[in-house]
Amino acid sequence: MKDFVGPKIPFEELKEEELLGEGGAAFVSKGEWEGKQVAIKKLKVPETASTLGFEDEEEETFSNVFKEFRREISVMSGLEHPNLVNLIGVCLDPLCIVTEFMAYGDLYNFLQDTSRDLDLALRLKIAIDIASGMLFLHSAKPPIIHRDLKSPNVLMAAISVNAPVVAKVADFGLSGAMQTVSIKSVANPIWLAPEIMIGGEFTEAADVYSYGVILWEILHRKQPWEDIRFINEIEQKVKKGERPPILGECPPAYAELVSLCWTQDPTKRPPFKEIFERLVAIKQEFFPTDENNKEEKEESIEKKKRGNDEDSGSDESDDSEIDDSPAPKNRISFGEEVSAFDFLKKFGSDELQRKTN
């Protein structure tokens, strides 16, 4: 994958507004850059035992974070799809990722706000949008495994079923960097495939498992395993093959899809191409006169024709809601010889001084 050649944004050019939230590895704020609304994801400074006291190890840790950041940003920058949160640029001091701003926040919170109506058409549209973004990632060569697909990493662009895009996948390709910088290194087991829990090898099918949990959440509008207090207990259940019960009214084909996606055996889980097609078929069954069906059906037939080996760069969209990337400015290639430690020394220098003194 080529190195990142997108815009390098000087931090002074970013207007930071309110804090939107905090994840394990970053603070996310709303902001503005070149007159556009953006989200600014400021990575936390690593603070592990090895960074305290030993300068060589400290340098190595920082250097690893930077390398990981560099590698993963290059993954992100090569990908554009209407159902992926678009990377706008990076800021190196402090280390930030600047992406498009998603006005309706994350899917996790959106689903839990039961004061909003959520009809079947919108539920299916959200599910189709996520499947479409994931199909694109898995069709890349080599395939990109998200590794941290979960409802907090699905962001909402719109909440009307008539909008061309309602949901986008975020933080793809970032999980490694996030883990490196994360002080909370324990992954959330709610969305974690059992094969990862047991420390075995995993493939794209691990994302399909996570997607199955999201399908369940879209249906139930609550957190799976919400009555279980201990993370460890959830892990034990999932490893044994237990899953949250599928309750309430739902199209049988949808319930079947949830079960298939979170099958214990990863090789029995459907690929995203099949998931996409199954969802489009459910939508057609319930909303046969929907104008959007025609487009999706054609896309589905087209995908079938292209088969699994479609080129990742060939997806196109006429979605006018999607902003194009800003005109390249202050381009930087990560191929430049830069000392990771030099950058990171400046980043959070107070913190660093405290540690090195």
Ligand X SMILES: Nc1ncnc2c1ncn2[C@@H]1O[C@H](COP(=O)(O)OP(=O)(O)OP(=O)(O)O)[C@@H](O)[C@H]1O
Nearest residue (CB) to ligand X, 191 versus 254? 191
- Residue 168 φ then ψ, to 5°: -135, 145
Q: Are 135 and 272 in contact (CB under 8 A)?
A: yes
Q: How far is the CB of 16 from Mg ion (least distance, A)?
A: 18
| Eight-class DSSP state of 230 | -
Q: How far is the CB of 192 from Mg ion (least distance, A)?
A: 15
Q: Among this protein's residues, is 113 annotated catalytic?
A: no
Neighbours of 116 (CB within 10 A): 12
The reply to whether 170 sits near ligand X by the rule CB under 6 A is: yes
Q: How far is the CB of 104 from ligand X (least distance, A)?
A: 8
The reply to whether 85 sits near ligand X by the rule CB under 6 A is: yes
Q: How far is the CB of 129 from ligand X (least distance, A)?
A: 15
Q: How far is the CB of 57 from Mg ion (least distance, A)?
A: 28
Choice from 68, 106, 129, 315 touching ligand X (CB under 6 A): 106
Q: Are 83 and 126 in contact (CB under 8 A)?
A: no
Helix (H) or strand (E) holding 208, with range, is helix 205-220
Residue 85 binds which of Mg ion, ligand X, none (CB < 5-8 A, kind-dependent): ligand X
The reply to whether 218 sits near ligand X by the rule CB under 6 A is: no
Choice from 28, 127, 128, 144 touching ligand X (CB under 6 A): 28
Residue type at position 172: F
| Residues belonging to the chain | 357
Choice from 66, 101, 209, 262 touching ligand X (CB under 6 A): 101
What CA–CA distance (Å, rounded) separates 30 from 100? 10
46 cis-preceded (ω within 30 degrees of 0): no
Nearest residue (CB) to Mg ion, 169 versus 280? 169
The reply to whether 255 sits near ligand X by the rule CB under 6 A is: no
Angle among Cα 344, 349, 355 to the nearest 5 degrees reads: 95
Nearest to 11 by CA among 310, 353, 347, 277: 347
Choice from 21, 94, 164, 251 touching ligand X (CB under 6 A): 21
The reply to whether 152 sits near ligand X by the rule CB under 6 A is: yes
Q: Which one is catalytic: 3, 93, 113, 148?
A: 148
What CA–CA distance (Å, rounded) separates 350 from 18? 23
Choice from 3, 23, 260, 284 touching ligand X (CB under 6 A): 23
What CA–CA distance (Å, rounded) separates 157 from 162? 12
Task: Report the interface residues with Mg ion, using CB under 5 A.
Answer: 23, 153, 171
Angle among Cα 176, 22, 46 to the nearest 5 degrees reads: 45
Catalytic residues, by residue number, are 148
- Binding residues (CB under 6 A) for ligand X: these are 20-26, 28, 39, 85, 99, 101-102, 105-106, 148, 152-153, 155, 170-171, 178
